[in-house]
Structures are given as structure tokens and as C-alpha cells.
């Protein structure tokens, strides 16, 4: 094939001969002369373009993959002319390396734009601060955080980032003991009966009209002797239905109320068990499946699921619904069954492992020793009227014993002291609270039961729990109480409320319902109180 230059020279010679001929023919041929003068240049331009396309095709076609579209970027699905990542339509053909490089760059840019839009990482462009009622924990070397002292001193935090959403109110179905002060853990000697109850705690104060639940237990250790729902029987539209499968350890219970109720707290029924064999723990827990649901209903709405806060966005609501597990709002109980004295000796003779079972026996006898100490430590012991000051509740756990619950009761004179609300990043933020926001890493409680101060009566109550036995550090801080001095006093006391004669003392750190503060018979000596001098305002 001749090159465009060769064709151009040939056509130029023909055009020159033609022009000479037209000159001899006269001016009438002027218009035709102009047309034929331009025509060769147009033809040459067309031939040149055709030549380049032919050469380009032969040069690039061997490097193109047949699976890559010449219209869209490779490897990405399309949607009405644009792929899902927003790549633009292209009219040129490119090599695989060119396409892959462009696609990679576009993906990186799109990823960065997405991160900028949604990132919550500090320092990221477009980053958003965590909402007030969420705690973001990150990094072994975290940025300085406001400490309980108010001095700005940093406190350590964890490596992983996650959100903790304090829930001041929640709806819960729970199994607990029927003691004067119920717990979710009980210890009983083998052969003795134990009574548990199923309760509904209506933290959201919602109305409800029906309850459906299923409980599972281990028939090797527990034998059901009876169910008593007389406390609600008169308010039901018809007698409740209870189905019991003793061989498989299953209880299914359904009840519908004649009229909607709105109780803050309701005992649904009690269960009496016979204990059959010693064990460190056996669970009475809820089942929640499609066949055996556990729920409290308002019509068809399950009240145990999380209700979005008024500030929550549609995306937040969808995310919270996705994160909800089948155990949401359901708390079971653990029962430790101690062997009789005779069986314990027999088990020792047979060299049976006794660690947990022997502890259960000592707890049942009241002879277990935890050795935990508690102290009220003020940051200052002298203040003036109008001053605020902090008192830490600290603990020592020299034996590194396992615990499952913490309960504190602290008394003060409301005539001279008032508790100031201090709840930044707290588990519980409703009402007037003591502060525990800096101590979640060492004490990651699962159950957040109570954190409230009553300034009218001079009482601080704090109660938290773990879902299983947990070893806490040898020393640390449980919480910090912020006081304001409102009247002068030479000495005003802040004391733990403690009475070892009660079955469930108001101040205790427990495992399986047994108080591990100090030693049996002398627990008071393991509690250290404090006194504050309040000078008149100058």
C-alpha cells in the first residue's frame, strides 16, 4: 500500500496539469477550478486517517483481552451507562495495563471519597466526633482525655475501637432468685430446693399485653417441681399455657393479659427446683428461636428489642436492628450446687477435681474467704463551702478471686454534702450518677443495674454484674463520687452502708451470691470509710 505522501505527490501533479487546462478554457471554469483545487487535499486527509487507524489496529490488537469491553472499565459491572463505582464511559481503546492502572486510581479515589464521607477516625478529612452518649476506645497510646481529677491527665485505653452505647432504660426478661434481694446467681446444697422467678423489667415503661417464653435447664442437675403464676393469674384473659419437657429440660410458657399493662416491674411466675447433683454451675436460660420464642409483646411488637433514640438516623436504626441478637433483653441465671459433706469426702477419696465444686460447698457453708478490701479515698480532706471534690471507691483483690457482681451503698450527710451528677461515658447516665466512665476497660460489666444518688436521703447506690465469673485486677478504682460542700462541718463522714447480718448485705463484691469482702465474721474491717472537714465560705 502506498503511503499518503506518495499519493499526495501523484495527485498534486494531476491537479497542476488540470489547472493549466482550465486556464486555456477561460473564466467560466473558475468555479470548477476552485472545487478541484481543494478536493485533493480532502482526499489526502481521509487517506491519512485511514492509514493511521489501520496501523494502530495492527499495533494494539494483540495486547487487548477479549474479555475487556472497549466501552467500560474492565472487571466492574455497569448500571445504565455507568458502572457501580461511577467510572466514566470511554471511546478510546487502551492496553490492559493502561486500563488496570486507570481503574485502580479511580477505585482509590472513590474509596478515599467514601472514607472522607463516613469515617469516624480522628484526623480523617470529614471525620465526625462520636456522639455524646457513645464512648470511643482506641489505641495503646490514646490522645489525652479529661480525667476524673479534672486536671486533663491522660488515662490508658484499649487497642481496639468500638462503641459503647449506655442504655439508661431497657426492657429485660430475667431469671433470678426469689430472695429478699434477688440475684442472678445462687448457691444451694445438693438435695435442697431452690426457687427462681421470671420477671419483666419494663425500663421503657411501655404497655404490653402478652408474654411468650421458653426456658432451658439441664435435667442432670435440676428437676422441676412446680410453676406458680398466681401473681398474674387474675389479670389474664385465659389461663396461661405451660408445657414442660423434663427429659430434654425445656419449659414453654404463654400468657395473654385481659387488658394492656404498663408495670415497671412484674413477677410472671416462680419455679421450684430440686437439686440432683453437685456442679460448679448450671444455667437456667432463655431459648429464643422461631419455634420457641421468648418475648414480651405489644400486639405484634417485641418490646425486648432496642428502640432507636430520637436522635438516631435511619441508618443508625437499621444498623442497630441488624446487630440485635436472639438473646437481646434476655438474662438467665446460674445455680451452683454444693455437694453434701459426706459426698464431698467421697469425692476427695476418688480424687475427683473439686476446684469449683469445693468452692460452692464453702460458699454454701459460709466459709469461703475472698479477702477483698474496699476504701473511700477523697482527693482532698479539707474543702470550703461551695467547693466540689472527688471521692474514689478503690478496691484491693490480693487473692485475685473471681467475682460476678458488685453492689455498693454509700451514705453521707445531705445537710452538708450533695452529690453532683458526673456521668461522662458512664454505663448509666439517667438521674444523678457517680462516675465509672474511665474504669470500663478493667471492669467490663455486662449487666448495668443501678448507678444513682439520692441527695434527699444521703445515699449512693451502685450495682453492676458480669455474665460469667471474671477475675478483676489486684487493685483499682470502682467508681468516683463527685460531692459539693453546701454547709460547714468540722467533720462529716462518708461511709459504706454494711450489715453482715443480712442475707444480701447492701455492700458486697460477690461470686455465686457469696460476699467475698474480707473474711466471714469480720467483713467490716475490710471496709475503710473517710471524713471531710468543710470550712465556712470566706
Identify the pLDDT of residue 505: 77
Look at residue 217 and tell me whether its pLDDT is greater than 90: yes
Give the phi and the psi of residue 375 in degrees, each rounded to 5: -145, 145
Q: What is the dihedral of CA 407, 412, 414, 416, to 10 degrees?
A: -150
- What band does 331 get if pLDDT is binned at 50, 70 and 90? confident
> Is residue 519 in some structural domain?
yes
Q: Do 375 and 504 lie in a common domain? A: yes
Angle at the Cα of 56 from the Cα atoms of 55 and 61, rounded to 5 degrees: 115
Q: Do 16 and 141 lie in a common domain? A: no
Look up the CATH number of the domain holding residue 221: 2.60.40.680
Q: Do 191 and 253 lie in a common domain? A: yes
> Is residue 323 in some structural domain?
yes
How many other CB atoms are found less than 10 A from the CB of residue 311?
Answer: 9
Q: Provide the 3-class DSSP secondary structure of residue 310.
A: coil
Percent of the chain with pLDDT strictly greater than 90:
37
140: containing domain: 128-156
- What band does 124 get if pLDDT is binned at 50, 70 and 90? very low
Q: Do 410 and 279 lie in a common domain? A: no
Q: Which of these ranges, 251-255, 315-319, 452-456, has the smallest mean pLDDT?
A: 315-319
CA separation for the pair 43, 49 (Å, rounded)? 10
Q: Do 143 and 286 lie in a common domain? A: no
Query: Based on the structure, what is the number of domains in the chain?
Result: 4
498-527 pLDDT per residue, tens: 876 666 678 988 876 778 888 877 788 899
Look at residue 349 and tell me whether its pLDDT is greater than 90: no
Strand partners, 267: 199
Q: Do 284 and 246 lie in a common domain? A: yes
Nearest residue to 183 (alpha-carbon basis) of 473, 429, 505, 478:
505
Give the DSSP letter of residue 233. H
3 state SS for 50-105: HHHHHHHHHHHHHHCCCCCCCCCCCCCCEECCEECCCCCCCCCCCCHHHHHHHHHH
191-202 pLDDT per residue, tens: 888 999 999 988
Cell numbers placing 439: 474504669
Q: Do 235 and 272 lie in a common domain? A: yes
> Is residue 67 in some structural domain?
no
Say if CB 260 and CB 322 are below 8 A apart: no
406-441 pLDDT per residue, tens: 999 999 999 999 999 999 999 999 899 999 999 999
User: How many whole angstroms from its chain centre is CA 386?
Assistant: 39
Identify the pLDDT of residue 34: 54
464 membership: H or E segment, kind and range: strand 459-471
Q: Which of these ranges, 16-30, 215-229, 379-393, has the smallest mean pLDDT?
A: 16-30
Q: Do 141 and 176 lie in a common domain? A: no
Q: Cell 430446693 maps to which residue?
A: 193
Q: Do 391 and 480 lie in a common domain? A: yes
Look at residue 244 and tell me whether its pLDDT is greater than 70: yes
3 state SS for 320-366: HHHHCCCCCCEECEEEEEECCHHHHHHHHHCCCCCHHHHHHHHHHHC
Q: Do 394 and 524 lie in a common domain? A: yes
> Is residue 341 in some structural domain?
no
Any idea how long the chain is? 538
- What band does 205 get if pLDDT is binned at 50, 70 and 90? confident
Q: Do 421 and 301 lie in a common domain? A: no
Give the DSSP letter of residue 236. B
Q: Do 140 and 212 lie in a common domain? A: no
Amino acid at each position: 500500500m502506498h503511503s499518503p505522501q506518495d499519493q499526495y505527490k501523484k495527485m498534486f501533479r494531476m491537479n497542476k496539469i488540470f489547472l493549466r487546462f482550465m486556464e486555456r478554457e477561460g473564466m467560466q471554469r473558475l468555479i470548477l477550478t476552485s472545487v478541484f483545487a481543494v478536493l485533493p487535499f480532502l482526499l489526502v486527509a481521509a487517506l491519512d486517517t485511514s492509514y493511521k487507524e489501520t496501523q494502530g489496529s495492527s499495533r494494539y490488537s494483540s495486547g487487548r483481552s477479549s474479555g475487556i469491553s472497549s466501552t467500560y472499565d474492565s472487571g466492574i459491572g455497569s448500571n445504565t451507562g455507568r458502572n457501580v463505582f461511577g467510572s466514566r464511559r470511554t471511546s478510546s481503546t487502551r492496553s490492559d495495563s493502561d486500563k488496570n492502572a486507570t481503574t485502580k486510581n479511580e477505585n482509590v479515589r472513590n474509596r478515599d471519597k467514601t472514607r472522607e464521607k463516613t469515617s469516624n477516625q480522628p484526623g480523617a478529612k470529614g471525620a465526625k466526633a462520636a456522639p455524646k452518649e457513645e464512648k470511643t476506645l482506641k489505641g495503646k497510646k490514646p490522645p489525652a482525655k479529661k480525667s476524673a481529677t479534672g486536671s486533663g491527665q491522660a488515662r490508658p485505653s484499649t487497642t481496639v475501637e468500638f462503641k459503647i452505647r449506655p442504655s439508661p432504660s431497657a426492657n429485660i426478661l430475667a431469671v433470678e432468685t426469689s430472695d429478699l434481694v434477688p440475684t442472678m446467681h445462687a448457691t444451694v446444697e445438693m438435695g435442697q430446693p431452690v426457687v427462681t422467678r421470671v420477671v419483666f423489667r419494663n425500663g421503657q415503661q411501655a404497655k404490653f399485653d402478652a408474654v411468650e417464653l421458653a426456658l432451658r435447664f439441664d435435667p442432670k442437675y435440676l428437676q422441676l417441681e412446680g410453676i406458680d403464676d398466681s401473681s398474674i393469674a387474675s389479670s389474664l384473659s385465659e389461663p396461661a399455657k405451660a408445657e414442660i419437657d423434663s427429659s430434654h429440660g425445656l419449659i414453654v410458657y404463654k400468657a395473654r393479659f385481659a387488658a394492656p399493662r404498663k408495670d415497671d416491674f412484674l413477677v410472671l411466675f416462680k419455679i421450684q427446683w430440686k437439686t440432683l447433683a453437685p456442679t460448679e454451675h448450671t444455667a437456667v436460660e432463655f431459648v429464643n428461636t422461631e419455634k420457641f420464642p421468648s418475648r414480651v409483646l405489644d400486639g405484634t411488637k417485641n418490646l425486648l428489642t432496642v428502640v432507636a433514640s430520637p436522635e438516631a438516623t435511619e441508618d443508625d436504626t437499621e444498623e442497630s436492628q441488624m446487630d440485635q441478637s436472639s438473646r437481646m433483653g434476655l438474662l438467665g441465671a446460674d445455680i451452683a450446687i454444693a455437694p453434701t459433706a459426706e459426698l464431698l469426702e467421697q469425692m476427695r477419696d476418688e480424687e475427683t477435681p473439686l476446684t469449683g465444686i469445693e468452692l460452692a460447698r464453702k460458699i454454701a457453708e459460709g466459709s469461703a474467704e475472698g479477702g477483698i478490701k474496699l476504701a473511700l479515698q477523697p482527693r482532698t480532706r479539707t474543702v470550703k463551702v461551695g467547693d466540689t471534690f472527688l471521692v474514689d471507691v478503690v478496691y484491693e483483690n490480693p487473692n485475685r478471686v473471681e467475682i460476678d457482681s458488685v453492689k455498693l451503698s454509700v451514705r453521707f450527710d445531705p445537710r452538708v454534702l450533695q452529690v453532683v451528677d458526673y456521668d461522662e461515658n458512664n454505663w448509666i447516665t439517667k438521674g444523678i450518677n457517680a462516675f465509672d466512665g474511665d474504669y470500663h476497660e478493667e471492669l467490663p460489666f455486662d449487666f448495668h443495674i443501678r448507678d444513682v444518688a439520692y441527695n434527699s436521703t444521703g445515699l449512693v447506690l451502685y450495682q453492676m454484674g458480669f455474665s460469667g465469673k471474671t477475675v478483676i485486677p489486684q487493685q483499682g478504682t470502682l467508681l468516683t463520687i463527685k460531692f459539693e460542700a453546701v454547709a460547714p462541718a468540722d467533720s462529716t463522714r462518708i461511709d459504706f452502708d454494711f450489715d453482715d447480718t443480712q442475707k444480701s448485705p447492701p455492700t458486697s463484691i460477690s461470686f455465686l451470691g457469696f460476699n467475698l469482702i474480707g473474711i466471714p465474721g469480720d467483713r467490716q474491717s475490710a471496709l475503710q470509710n473517710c471524713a471531710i472537714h468543710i470550712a465556712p465560705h470566706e
